[in-house]
Amino acid sequence: MSLTTVYLGLGSNTAREQHLTAALEALSALCGELACSPVFESEAVGIKSEPFFNLVVKAQTELSLADLIVRLKHIEADNGRYAADRTGLPLDIDILTYGDLVGNLDGLILPRAEILKNAFVLWPLSLLAATVRHPVDGRDYASLWAAMPKVQRLWPVPFTWRGQALTPATLCQAFPAE
């Protein structure tokens, strides 16, 4: 089976570093090498909650879309996403794109609409995949980010995974927390 490039949006608003680190470890075990965007903190959008940590991950997978969805749900469940007594959102993993697939596939609409709606998805995606083109819009992610109205509040935060700083210090200095 051939490899498909996927972009995943990860977010957490409880024990944020713990859950994102666990997600990265699980995704690495599932897909191998990962490319990660910087990590951003943002105010919650659409719900009343504590601020989120968000990032975007690029991976290669041999899994079908349906199988990937199932495996991601298991990673979320392992991190308390579906626990009856959960508080907040321990871990959310969204498939942003799966190759160049477009449409309603296995109950998932691709590309995910949040790419064009939420700064906490588009900014990290634009840093990770600046020249990659949106499968429907056609513009590259850097251009989409440049054109997006900056109404949502978010800022880069230091985050280290496996001894590597995912968020460059220069980015944190250029865009300090508000």
The pLDDT > 70 percentage for the chain reads: 96
pLDDT the model gives residue 31 = 96
Q: State pLDDT tens for residues 48-88.
A: 778 999 999 999 999 999 999 999 999 998 887 766 776 77
How far is Cα 14 from Cα 34, in angstroms, rounded to an integer? 23
pLDDT the model gives residue 1 = 62
- Where does residue 142 rank: exposed (0-12), middle (13-18), buried (19+ CB within 10 A)? middle
Q: State pLDDT tens for residues 90-120.
A: 899 999 999 999 999 878 999 999 999 999 9
pLDDT the model gives residue 139 = 97
1.20.140.10, 2.40.37.10, 3.30.70.260, 3.30.70.560: which CATH number matches 2-110+153-164? 3.30.70.560
Helix pair angle (65-78, 16-31), 10° resolution: 140
* pTM across the whole model: 0.94
- The residues spanned by each domain of the chain are 2-110+153-164
Residues 6+ positions from 1 with CB-CB distance below 8 Å: 62
166 contacts 160 by C-beta, under 8 angstroms: yes
27 contacts 103 by C-beta, under 8 angstroms: no
